[in-house]
A and B are shown apart, each in its own frame.
Chain A
Amino acid sequence: MTIELERRLVVFDDPAEGDLLATIAREHGAGIEPVRVRVEPVTAAFVIAAATVAAGIVTEFYERRQGGQVIDLRPGASRAVYRDRGVTFGLIVILTQDGAVTVEVYDPSNAFLDVARDVVQALTSIAATEAKNAIEAATEVTGDRGTVTRDDPGGSLPPNPQNPPA
C-alpha cells in the first residue's frame, strides 16, 4: 500500500524555529523541506509526512514553540497562568512568594498539556502561595509523569509586580 505523503507549510516567527520543527519531524520519522524564494525573505519550511502525522507535527510545533508553562502564585501577579517561550517546553515553572518550583514532564510531546492542566487546577483549588504547598500539590497530581523540584532558594525570581526588589 502506498502511503500518501502530505506537504504542509509551516511559517516561523524566527528562523531558529526551523530547528525545533526539524526535531519534531525527526521524532515522528518525518522530514522537512526548507523554503527559499527569490523574492521577499521568508522563514518557512514544508513538513513532509503522511497526512495524519503531518497534522500532528504541525500542531506539536505550534504547541512547543509556545514554550513552557508558568504559574505565578505570588499575590498581585498580573498574569497567573501563561506560556513563556523563554521556558523550555516540557517544564512547568511555579512562582511562589518564597521561591520557584519546577515540574519537569518526562514525555512532553504526549503529556505536557495534561500535566500542566492538572497542576494548574490543583494549585488554583488550594489557593497556595508558598513553595512547600505548591510542591505538595504538584507532586500529587504529576505522579510518575514527571519530577517536581524546588529551585535554589537563593536563586532570583522574576520581579513581583506588587513587591518590586529594592
Chain B
Amino acid sequence: MKYPGLPPVGADGPESAWTRAGRDLPAAVDLLTREFHRKATAVAGVKLIEALRRKGDWSRAQGTVARLDAIATSTNDRALTHFSVGTLRWTAGDALGAREAYERALVGWTELGDAVGTAAATVGLARSLRLTVHESGPQTATQGYDLAQRCADAHVLADAARELSAWALLRGDHDAAAHHAREALEIHEGGSDTYLVGSAQILLARAWHATGNRDDGVTMMRDVVASARDIGSVDLELTASIFLGQFLQQGVTPDHPSWNEAVALLSEALDRAEDPVTRAEILLPLAHLWTASNQLEQAAAAVDEYEQMYLLVGGNRIAMANIAKARARLALADGGQFQYGAFATLRLGREGLRARRLFKKAERLYKTADLQTGAASVRWHRDLLATLMSGRPQGRSAARLPWVKGDDPLIAARIAFVAGEQARLSGRPNVASDRFAEAETLARSCGATQLAVGAAARGAETAYAQRDFATAAASARRAVRYTDAIRGAVADGHARGTFARTIRAHYERAATLAARMGQPELTIEVLERLRTERLAGLVHQRGVDDMPADLRSLLDQLDELNEEIAQSQGSAGLVRSALARAPARRPAETSELEGRRETLRDTLRERTNALFAHVYDANMLDTDALFNALTTHLLTVCPVTGVDGDELVAAWRAPDGRGGTATVSVAEDVAHLRDVLTRGGLEGTYGRIQLTWQSLGCLTPLLPAGFRDELREANAPVQVLLVVSGWLWQVPFAAIPLGTATGPPLLVDRSDLVYAPSLRVHHLLEQRQHNDRARGRSAVSFGDPALEASELAGLDAFAAHTTLRDSGEVADAFVHGGDRWDLGVLAAHGDTEAGLAQGVFTEDGTRILTAADFLRKDAAPPTELSFAICHGAAAFGPDPHEPLGLTLAALSAGARAVLSTHFELESGLEVANGCLERLYSALADPARVPGRSTGLRSVAQQLAMLQRQPVLRTHPLARWAVLCVVGTTRSDGDWGARSS
C-alpha cells in the first residue's frame, strides 16, 4: 500500500528498515520495532504496523495500533493512523471496521486537501467494500483510480489499479482484471517492493487462470508463494497459497498429485489463518476437494464453517452463491451421483432435486451480485445436470463457456464432454465418440479423473449402442479403472466406503454391458471391483487388535434384546428355547422391543461398516495376476439393478481363458425364487424348506451356455469356484439343473463347488501358509444337546475327537483351537443377524459363537470348520456385494474351508445328518494328512461326492443342497505338495 506522506517501500535507501519491509520482513520488523521505540512517532508506528501486517504478526500489529492513539496528534498523523488501521482491519476481514477507519482517513486528508491521501483513502474504502461485495464498491474503486491519476502518484495509482483489477475479477471481467493487474505490476516492478509485486502477480495469475491459461496462472502463483516465503511474508504466502490451492483443486480427483498438493497447501494455510475471510476462502476449496474424495461429512462441515465465517463479517451474495453451488455438488455426491454421470443415467432422486434447486439459487445469487461468469458457470452445471438426468440435450450454455479464451484442458474437456453427450442424444454417435475420446484425453491430462470416467463410460455406451463391442469393452474397462484409481487414492477409509456406494450403480451397469457383449473377463473384473475390498483386506490382515468397546457393547445389547424378545414371544421366539415357555408379553411390549432391536441393528450395521472401512483396505486389484493364478473354472454371479430392472449377471472363465457370459432378468420365476429365499419369519422358512431342484430350473440360463456344455461333456467332475454376492448367497447352486427343466444332471453332478465372496479373497486364502502338523487328524465338536445331531457320530472316525459339553468352551475352541484340532464341528442353531452379530445359539437361547469372535488378531481356528446350522453362509448386511457373516469372518480368521449352509438346514428325516456323518467320517481319513500323499479330496470334493447321490434328488434342498463349502478349492494333498 502507498501510505500518503511516506516514501514507497524501497524508495528510501537500500539499507533502511522501511525498504526491508519489501524484501526481508523479519529484519524490517526488528529494525522498525527499535525505530518506533526510539522515535515513538505516528510514522514510525504506521511503518511498524505495515511490516507486522505483511509478516503476518497481526496481534502484535493490533497492539501497536493501540499505542498510536496517544501519539498521533496532528490531523495528518491521525489520517495516516486511520489509514493504517483500515488496512489492518481489512486484512483481518473486518469490513465495517476497515470502512470506518478509511472514511476517517478520507475525512482527514480531504480536510487537509491532500490529493494523494484522498486518493489512497478512497482506494482503501473500495477495498473495504470489496469484503462484502458492496454494490457501491466498483464506483468507489473507479473514483479512487481517477483520483490517483489526477494526483500523479504512481504508487497510489498502482494500488488503485490493483483494486480495479480485484473488482474486475469479482464481476468476471477478466480482460480488465489482467489489464489493471499488469498496470500495477509494471509500476511495482520499477521499485523494490517484492510484497506489492507479488500482490499484483496474484491478480494477474487469477485473471490468466480464469480465462483458461491454467498453467501460466499456476506457475505465477507458485512463484508468488516462493517469493513470499523468501521475504518472510506470511500474509502474502497465505493469500497466494489459497489461490494456488483453488487453482489446483479445480476438477481434480484424489488420484492426481494436484489433489494432495491442494489439500496440503490449504490445510496448512487453514492452520495459520486467523481472520474469518481468509479462513472462509480456504474452507471453500477444501470443501470441493473433500467432495471429490467423497469425504462428504468433512466437506459439509467446511461449507457450514465457510457460511459462518462470512456471516461473521456481514455476508455477501457471492459467498452465499458459492455456498449454494458447493452444497449442490455435495447433494449430488450424497445421492451417489457422479458430477458427470458415468454408466448409469443420473437419477432425479431427492438429492438430485436438491442439487437442482441449489444450483438455481446459486445462479440467481451470482446474477444479483453481478458476477456474470459465476452465473454462467452455474448455468453450465445446471444444463449438464439436466441433460444427464433427462437423457435429452438441455440448454445451450453447456456447449460453450464464453469467457474462456485460453486452451485450459479442463474447460476444453468439459466442453467436449457436453458436445459428446449432446451428439449422442441427438443420434450422431460418430461425433459423440470423437468428442468423448477428446474429453477423456483432456480430462486425464489435467487430473480431472471423474470427468474422464464420465467420458469413457459414455463412450462405452455409445459404442455399445453401435454394437462396436471391442471399443465399448475397452472404454468400459478404462472407465472402471479410472474410478478405482480415484477410490484407491482416497486415504480416508470411511470415504472409501461412501465412494464404493457411489460407484455401485455405475459398476453394475458396466458389468451388465460387459456381460451382454459377451466379455467374461471384463465382466469378472467389474464385478470384482464392485467389492468394497474390506473382505479382501480382512483376510489379508487377519483380524483387528481390539474390537472397539462400543461395538462389543452393541453386540451384547443385541444379544440381550434377542433373549427378551424370545421371552416375550413365547413359542415364536428367535430360537426354540426354555425361555419360550415363559409367560408371553403383551403385543405392545414385544413391538417396542422389536423396534429397539431394529434401531440397534441399524446402529450395528453402521458401526460395522465404519469399522471395516477404517481397518481393512486390501491391495488394489490386479486382475491379470488373479486370472493367472486361477487353476479352476470360475463362475462369478451377481445381482444388479439397472435401468432395465433387476438382473443377474454371470461370467464364466475356464482355466485356459475361455469363457462366456449370461444375464437373467429377475422376473416371474426368478423373482418368486428371490422372494422365497429372502423372505423373513416362519413364512420364509416354510417356503425355503419346500424348495427342490426343480425350483432352481429358472436359474439354468444363468449358467453360461459354454459352461454348461463344458460340464455336460466333461469325463469327470471339474472344480468350480463360485464367486457370489447379495441374495445369491442363499441359492444352492449345486442343485441348478444343467438342462432347462429337463431334469438332472445338476451342477453338482458335474462339478466340485467352492464358494468365495470375491476372487481376491479366494486368492489370498489359497496363498495362506498351511499349518503342516505331522500328526493324526483331530476334531473338536459341540452339539446342542436339544438337537438330534446324529451326524457327530461320524467324528468318531478321527484319531482324536474332543466333544465339548460346555457351550462356554465353544468360542475358544473354534477361534483359537487351530493348534489342537484340524476340524471343528458345530451342530446348533444359526440366526440371520447382519454382519458381526451373526452367530450360533443353543436351544436355550445362549449365544455360543458370533462372527465378531473371529475378528481378533490372535485368532487361529481349525483349518476346516463345519457350521451345521441354519443360514451359516448366507451373510446378511447393508452391502449387497460384500456382506460379512459368520462363515466369512471365520475364513478371515484363518480357516481355509468352512462347511456351511445357504439357508435352513432341515434335519427332520436325518438325510442332512446322514450326509454330514459320512462327510465327517471321510474327512477323518488319515491319508488327508498334509504331505502324506497326493490326489486327496478337499472338503468341497467330499461334499460334492455325497451330494451326487441320486436318492437326494427326491428330497428338498434344505436336506442336502443347502450344504456348501466356502473357502479354497485346494485339497490337503495340494497343500501338502505345496508346502513340501
Q: Which residues of A contact B (CB under 8 A)?
A: 5, 7, 9, 11, 33-42, 44-46
Complex contacts, B689 vs chain A, CB 8 Å: 9, 35, 37, 42, 44
Q: How many whole Å from A107's CB to the nearest CB in chain B?
A: 32
CA separation between A5 and B686, bound complex, in Å?
20
CA separation between A5 and B282, bound complex, in Å?
77
CA separation between A5 and B832, bound complex, in Å?
33
Between B830, B831, B870, B904, the greatest number of chain A beta carbons within 10 A of the residue's beta carbon is seen for B904
B 866-912 contacts with A by CB, 8 A: 868-871, 904-909
CA separation between A60 and B918, bound complex, in Å?
39
Q: Does B750 touch A at the CB level, under 8 Å?
A: no
Q: Are B871 and A7 in contact (CB under 8 A)?
A: no
- Can you offer 25 A-B residue contacts whose CB atoms are under 8 A? A5-B954, A9-B686, A9-B689, A33-B909, A34-B908, A35-B689, A35-B906, A37-B870, A37-B907, A37-B958, A38-B828, A38-B830, A38-B904, A38-B905, A38-B907, A39-B575, A40-B573, A40-B574, A41-B571, A41-B573, A41-B575, A41-B576, A41-B580, A42-B689, A46-B908
CA separation between A33 and B689, bound complex, in Å?
12
12 new A-B contacts at CB < 8 Å, known A37-B685, A41-B572 = A33-B909, A35-B906, A35-B908, A36-B906, A37-B689, A37-B870, A37-B904, A37-B906, A37-B958, A38-B830, A39-B869, A46-B956
CA separation between A39 and B842, bound complex, in Å?
10
B 927-980 contacts with A by CB, 8 A: 954, 956, 958
Complex contacts, A38 vs chain B, CB 8 Å: 787, 827-830, 868-870, 904-905, 907
Q: Are B869 and A40 in contact (CB under 8 A)?
A: no
Q: How many whole Å from B577's CB to the nearest CB in chain A?
A: 8
Known: A9-B689, A33-B909. A39 touches B904 (CB 8 A): yes
Complex contacts, A7 vs chain B, CB 8 Å: 690, 956
Which residue of chain A has the shortest Cβ distance to B681 in the bound complex? A40
Complex contacts, B871 vs chain A, CB 8 Å: 39
Q: Are A40 and B685 in contact (CB under 8 A)?
A: yes
Which residue of chain A has the shortest Cβ distance to B680 in the bound complex? A40
Complex contacts, B868 vs chain A, CB 8 Å: 38
Complex contacts, A11 vs chain B, CB 8 Å: 686
CA separation between A28 and B870, bound complex, in Å?
33
Complex contacts, A9 vs chain B, CB 8 Å: 686, 689-690
CA separation between A57 and B868, bound complex, in Å?
33
CA separation between A42 and B958, bound complex, in Å?
14
Q: How many whole Å from B828's CB to the nearest CB in chain A?
A: 7
Q: Does B788 touch A at the CB level, under 8 Å?
A: yes
Q: How many whole Å from B687's CB to the nearest CB in chain A?
A: 9
Between A9, A35, A42, the greatest number of chain B beta carbons within 10 A of the residue's beta carbon is seen for A35
Q: Does B682 touch A at the CB level, under 8 Å?
A: yes
CB < 8 Å: which of A33, A39, A46 contacts B829? A39
Complex contacts, B830 vs chain A, CB 8 Å: 38-39
Q: Are A40 and B686 in contact (CB under 8 A)?
A: no
Complex contacts, A44 vs chain B, CB 8 Å: 686, 689
Q: Are B690 and A39 in contact (CB under 8 A)?
A: no
Between B689, B829, B869, B906, the greatest number of chain A beta carbons within 10 A of the residue's beta carbon is seen for B906
CB < 8 Å: which of A5, A33, A36, A45 contacts B788? A36
Complex contacts, B954 vs chain A, CB 8 Å: 5
Q: How many whole Å from B585's CB to the nearest CB in chain A?
A: 17
Complex contacts, B571 vs chain A, CB 8 Å: 41
CA separation between A81 and B870, bound complex, in Å?
45
Complex contacts, B575 vs chain A, CB 8 Å: 39-41
Complex contacts, A36 vs chain B, CB 8 Å: 787-788, 906-908
Q: How many whole Å from A134's CB to the nearest CB in chain B?
A: 40
CA separation between A160 and B905, bound complex, in Å?
51
Complex contacts, B906 vs chain A, CB 8 Å: 35-37
Between A33, A41, A45, the greatest number of chain B beta carbons within 10 A of the residue's beta carbon is seen for A41
Known: A34-B909, A36-B906. A42 touches B956 (CB 8 A): no
CA separation between A81 and B904, bound complex, in Å?
42
- Give a binary string over B632-674; 1 marks a CB under 8 Å from any A CB, 0 the rest: 0000000000000000000000000000000000000000000
Which residue of chain A has the shortest Cβ distance to B832 in the bound complex? A39
Q: How many whole Å from A37's CB to the nearest CB in chain B?
A: 4
Q: Which 10 pairs of residues, A with B, have the shortest CB-CB distance?
A: A39-B870, A41-B576, A34-B908, A36-B908, A37-B904, A35-B908, A38-B870, A33-B909, A38-B869, A38-B905
Complex contacts, A34 vs chain B, CB 8 Å: 908-909
Which residue of chain B has the shortest Cβ distance to A45 in the bound complex? B908
Q: How many whole Å from A5's CB to the nearest CB in chain B?
A: 8
Q: Are A33 and B685 in contact (CB under 8 A)?
A: no
Complex contacts, A46 vs chain B, CB 8 Å: 908, 956
CA separation between A39 and B788, bound complex, in Å?
13
Complex contacts, B572 vs chain A, CB 8 Å: 40-41
Complex contacts, B958 vs chain A, CB 8 Å: 37
Q: How many whole Å from A106's CB to the nearest CB in chain B?
A: 35
B 813-847 contacts with A by CB, 8 A: 827-832
Between A11, A37, A38, A40, the greatest number of chain B beta carbons within 10 A of the residue's beta carbon is seen for A38
CA separation between A29 and B635, bound complex, in Å?
46
Q: How many whole Å from B621's CB to the nearest CB in chain A?
A: 36
Q: How many whole Å from B201's CB to the nearest CB in chain A?
A: 73
Known: A36-B906, A36-B907. A42 touches B787 (CB 8 A): no
CA separation between A33 and B912, bound complex, in Å?
13
Q: How many whole Å from A33's CB to the nearest CB in chain B?
A: 5
- Give a binary string over B162-186; 1 marks a CB under 8 Å from any A CB, 0 the rest: 0000000000000000000000000
Q: How many whole Å from B534's CB to the nearest CB in chain A?
A: 27
Complex contacts, A39 vs chain B, CB 8 Å: 575, 685, 829-832, 869-871, 904
Complex contacts, B788 vs chain A, CB 8 Å: 36
CA separation between A62 and B828, bound complex, in Å?
32
Complex contacts, A35 vs chain B, CB 8 Å: 689, 906, 908
Q: Are B827 and A42 in contact (CB under 8 A)?
A: no
CA separation between A36 and B906, bound complex, in Å?
5
Complex contacts, B829 vs chain A, CB 8 Å: 38-39
Q: How many whole Å from B743's CB to the nearest CB in chain A?
A: 13
CA separation between A38 and B904, bound complex, in Å?
7
Q: How many whole Å from B234's CB to the nearest CB in chain A?
A: 67
Which residue of chain B has the shortest Cβ distance to A15 in the bound complex? B571
CB < 8 Å: which of A5, A33, A40 contacts B682? A40
Complex contacts, A45 vs chain B, CB 8 Å: 908
Which residue of chain A has the shortest Cβ distance to B867 in the bound complex? A38
B 301-348 contacts with A by CB, 8 A: none
CA separation between A46 and B909, bound complex, in Å?
10
CA separation between A37 and B788, bound complex, in Å?
11
CA separation between A17 and B825, bound complex, in Å?
34
Which residue of chain B has the shortest Cβ distance to A43 in the bound complex? B571
- Give a binary string over B563-588; 1 marks a CB under 8 Å from any A CB, 0 the rest: 00000000111111000100000000
Complex contacts, A5 vs chain B, CB 8 Å: 954
Complex contacts, B682 vs chain A, CB 8 Å: 40, 42
Complex contacts, B831 vs chain A, CB 8 Å: 39
Q: How many whole Å from A10's CB to the nearest CB in chain B?
A: 10
Q: How many whole Å from A48's CB to the nearest CB in chain B?
A: 9
Q: How many whole Å from B844's CB to the nearest CB in chain A?
A: 12
Which residue of chain B has the shortest Cβ distance to A35 in the bound complex? B908
CA separation between A11 and B572, bound complex, in Å?
14
Complex contacts, B690 vs chain A, CB 8 Å: 7, 9
Complex contacts, A33 vs chain B, CB 8 Å: 908-909
Q: How many whole Å from B460's CB to the nearest CB in chain A?
A: 44
Q: How many whole Å from A2's CB to the nearest CB in chain B?
A: 12
CA separation between A42 and B869, bound complex, in Å?
15
Which residue of chain B has the shortest Cβ distance to A4 in the bound complex? B954
Q: How many whole Å from A58's CB to the nearest CB in chain B?
A: 13
Complex contacts, B787 vs chain A, CB 8 Å: 36, 38
CA separation between A41 and B681, bound complex, in Å?
10
B 600-629 contacts with A by CB, 8 A: none
CA separation between A35 and B912, bound complex, in Å?
12
B 666-715 contacts with A by CB, 8 A: 681-682, 685-686, 689-690
Q: Are A42 and B580 in contact (CB under 8 A)?
A: no
Which residue of chain B has the shortest Cβ distance to A44 in the bound complex? B686
CA separation between A57 and B336, bound complex, in Å?
55
